[in-house]
Structure 1
Amino acid sequence: MSLLKQIFTWWNGQTIGTRFHTWRFGTKVGQDELGNTYYQGGGKDSEGRTRRWVIYNGYADASAIPPGWHGWMHHRTDVSPADEKYQAREWQKPHRPNGTGTAQAYRPPGSIAVAGERPRVTGDYDAWTPGN
């Protein structure tokens, strides 16, 4: 990665500041199946908990953190998935990139971008009309 890219962009990986902070204070905790690497250390956050962060493998997309690591990142558990041999539950879906602004974006029936009709509203809704 070029030096200018590391200085000025955060969405393509770690910046120089993050690289320095990780080198100086970070302790590697583990890596997920997508190649994201997780760290902790470097003091406490505003709630007194140890700081935790992720270095993404490629484009920074927060939805690319698997469920087990998400729980660890948000201090829902103190044991990382690497330490407990985490297995995703059968109802947990694999990661899909955020499709907003692409052809893969969700478009409900009746939206401007999709043919079809919107579902009829039920009796528990009254549309607002100006002047009423």
Structure 2
Amino acid sequence: MKTFLQIFTWWNGSTIGTRFHTWRFGKKVGQDELGNTYYEGGKDSEGRTRRWVMYNGYAEASAIPPGWHGWMHHRTDVSPADETYAAREWQKPHRLNMTGTAQAYRPPGSLAKPGERPRVTGDYDAWTPRS
């Protein structure tokens, strides 16, 4: 079933084209703590080395850790696998993108937030017809 999903859906791992490109041109660079595997090979339209990721499971772009993100976008030429990368104290660990789920962030006053909304204060006057 997993092979069937990977052949016919782009969001489950990788497409056939990506697998072929990886087999033909790809050189494995490393793997992150989430199981995503990073490759490079060939040149892009700007003459830079092409870099890509094969996701471990669902293809979610926010699942790339900060160190690998910098390498993927050519911010650094040294991959985290080739150096002793340590996240800075202000970098938070990865969390899944919860948009569209019950765990999504809902700011105070949001209509989607359960419970009662806070009372309107004097800094807001609701519009009424003929006022």
- Is 1:35 the counterpart of 2:35? The answer is yes
Q: TM-score, normalised by structure 1?
A: 0.83
- Is 1:88 the counterpart of 2:105? The answer is no
With over 3 angstroms needed to count, the CA separation of the structure-2 counterparts of 1:107 and 1:79, relative to structure 1, is: same
The CA deviation at 1:118 is 6.4
Whole-angstrom CA distance in 2 between matches of 1:116 and 1:87: 43
Q: Is 1:38–1:55's contact at 8 Å kept on the other side of the alignment?
A: yes
The CA deviation at 1:6 is 2.8
| Aligned residue runs from structure 1 range 98-117, under 5 A | 98-114=97-113, 115-117=115-117
The CA deviation at 1:83 is 0.4
The CA deviation at 1:16 is 1.4
The gaps in structure 1 that reach 5 residues or longer are 124-132
- Is 1:71 the counterpart of 2:70? The answer is yes
Aligned residue identity for 2:107 = P
Whole-angstrom CA distance in 2 between matches of 1:75 and 1:120: 48
SS of residue in 2 equivalent to 1:83: coil
Whole-angstrom CA distance in 2 between matches of 1:82 and 1:120: 53
With over 3 angstroms needed to count, the CA separation of the structure-2 counterparts of 1:39 and 1:119, relative to structure 1, is: farther
Whole-angstrom CA distance in 2 between matches of 1:119 and 1:75: 49
Aligned residue identity for 1:113 = A
With over 3 angstroms needed to count, the CA separation of the structure-2 counterparts of 1:43 and 1:113, relative to structure 1, is: same
The CA deviation at 1:10 is 1.1
For the aligned residue pairs, the C-alpha RMSD in angstroms reads 2.6
Whole-angstrom CA distance in 2 between matches of 1:120 and 1:73: 47
Q: Is 1:40–1:52's contact at 8 Å kept on the other side of the alignment?
A: yes
The CA deviation at 1:42 is 2.2
Whole-angstrom CA distance in 1 between matches of 2:46 and 2:87: 29
With over 3 angstroms needed to count, the CA separation of the structure-2 counterparts of 1:111 and 1:27, relative to structure 1, is: same
Whole-angstrom CA distance in 1 between matches of 2:56 and 2:116: 39
- Is 1:62 the counterpart of 2:61? The answer is yes
What is the percentage of aligned positions where both structures have the same residue? 79
The CA deviation at 1:32 is 0.3
